[in-house]
């Protein structure tokens, strides 16, 4: 009897695999830049009007305490967004520093949770780290949830008098 087919997860829009064997004792640094096709797919995934720029510099090193790998870097992007106030399209720049801890499933959350400023943990398969997918996820978290074009202001609406007696004051009694 054969097993039912299971749908496979879609491939990440921006996958950059780093085999852990290439990291070395001193760590490694990578410059990652998305192609126009990858940027279009990332924009679609994140609900952006467009993504003219998406790149990062990442330094990855093996962690001595707790196992895994620590990735620190800087993510730069420019997204075309729709302003929630004016509904105008504008470019929103992002310049975001990050710190991520890559761990295998069995090492997840072995660090002391009472420590402040713990890096976010990302599970990897033990053989290769997908820096690209981790960057897209980090970018999604860095985006403003309610994008506002610089200088956009809500219109001032005059509010009527709040008192119910103000309405009664204006009523005319029939003669």
pLDDT of residue 110: 54
Is residue 12, in this structure, part of any structural domain at all?
no
Short-list 101, 94, 83, CA closest to 151 = 83
What mean pLDDT comes out for the span 23-46? 94
Is residue 174, in this structure, part of any structural domain at all?
no
Which residue range forms the structural domain that includes residue 48? 17-169
pLDDT of residue 157: 77
Is residue 45, in this structure, part of any structural domain at all?
yes
Domain count within the chain: 1
Q: What are the residues facing 28 on neighbouring strands?
A: 60
17 contacts: CB under 8 Å, gap ≥ 6: 128, 129, 130, 131, 132
Is residue 68, in this structure, part of any structural domain at all?
yes
Is residue 8, in this structure, part of any structural domain at all?
no
Rounded to whole angstroms, the Cα distance separating 125 from 64 reads: 19
Distances (CA, A) of 18 to 21, 23, 54, 86, 97: 8, 8, 18, 42, 20
What mean pLDDT comes out for the span 138-167? 83
Is residue 51, in this structure, part of any structural domain at all?
yes
Short-list 91, 82, 96, CA closest to 138 = 96
């Amino acid at each position: 009897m054969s097993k039912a087919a299971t749908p496979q997860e879609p491939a990440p829009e921006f996958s950059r695999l780093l085999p852990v064997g290439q990291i070395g004792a001193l760590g490694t640094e990578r410059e990652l830049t998305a192609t126009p096709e990858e940027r279009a797919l990332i924009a679609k995934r994140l609900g952006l009007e467009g993504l003219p720029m998406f790149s990062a510099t990442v330094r990855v090193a093996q962690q001595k305490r707790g196992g895994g790998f620590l990735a620190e870097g800087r993510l730069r992007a420019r997204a075309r967004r729709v302003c929630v106030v004016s509904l105008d399209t504008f470019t929103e720049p992002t310049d975001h520093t990050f710190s991520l801890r890559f761990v295998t499933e069995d090492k997840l959350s072995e660090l002391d949770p009472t420590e402040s400023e713990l890096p976010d943990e990302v599970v990897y398969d033990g053989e290769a780290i997908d820096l690209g997918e981790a960057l897209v996820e980090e970018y999604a978290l860095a985006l403003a949830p309610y994008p506002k074009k610089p200088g956009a202001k809500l219109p001032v609406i005059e509010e009527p008098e709040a008192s119910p007696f103000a309405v009664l004051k204006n009523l005319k009694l029939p003669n």
